[in-house]
Homo-oligomer: A and B are copies of this chain.
Amino acid sequence: MPKIVDHDQRRKEIVEVTWRFIAREGIEKLNLRDLAAAAGYANGAFKPYFPTRDTLLVATFNFVADATNRRIQKSASGLFGLEAIEAFAREVLPLDELRRSEARIAVHFWHLALGDPKLAEVNAATMDNWRALLDSWLGQMFSDEDTRVPMARDSMINFLMGAQVGSVLDAKANTVALLEQQLTYQLDLLATLNQ
């Protein structure tokens, strides 16, 4: 069924063009016509794949989240406990231009999600997935009865989300070196939790 394969490939290409456009130009400027033109497609060429701007945006955010999650899976593979948590955190922290672009996408997406419960659910599902991952690694480090473990998990996620904002809007205090040091601080403290 070569036609279906082509459709999937085309959808993927459109989403890749879209996320690079948003990272570079912002989401305000995104409309299907200009995006098609910028990517060398005919006007209306996106419509069969993404009938509305919103369907394209959901697909784009999911694409970015999937890319991050694939990197996490690869980086944390074979690791346990604190080492796995560090590998996870380093894939989310904006430590290079790719991840800074992902942070820009996240900030734009959050703004949209405030006005659209469907988008907010997409975001919350990513967070649920990350909480489940962190639970498994924290479970390798701490007793189930330690009531601080869920707080450690959720404040780690909030730290990472805030670092996404900081890296793109308060960059001098959130350079790569400084973000690495902030992460080391958070991980060092986590390691002392049961001492």
B-binding residues in A (CB < 8 A): 25-28, 104, 107-108, 110-111, 113-115, 120, 123-124, 127, 131, 148, 150-152, 154-155, 157-166, 168-170, 172-174, 178, 181-186, 188-189, 192-193
State A151–B178 Cα separation when bound (angstroms). Answer: 7
A65 to B: closest C-beta gap in Å: 13
B114-A170 in contact (CB<8A)? no
Q: Kindly report how many copies of this chain are found in the complex they form together.
A: 2
Chain A contact residues: over half helix, strand or loop, or mixed?
helix
- On chain B, the residues within 8 Å of A155 by CB distance are 159, 182-183, 185-186
A182-B151 in contact (CB<8A)? yes
State A19–B91 Cα separation when bound (angstroms). Answer: 35
A–B pairs, 18, beta carbons within 8 Å: A107-B110, A108-B114, A110-B110, A111-B111, A120-B169, A127-B166, A127-B170, A127-B173, A131-B173, A151-B181, A152-B185, A154-B178, A155-B159, A155-B182, A155-B186, A158-B159, A161-B162, A162-B164
A161-B151 in contact (CB<8A)? no
Residue on B with the closest CB to A164? B162
State A27–B114 Cα separation when bound (angstroms). Answer: 10
A158 to B: closest C-beta gap in Å: 3
State A127–B162 Cα separation when bound (angstroms). Answer: 12
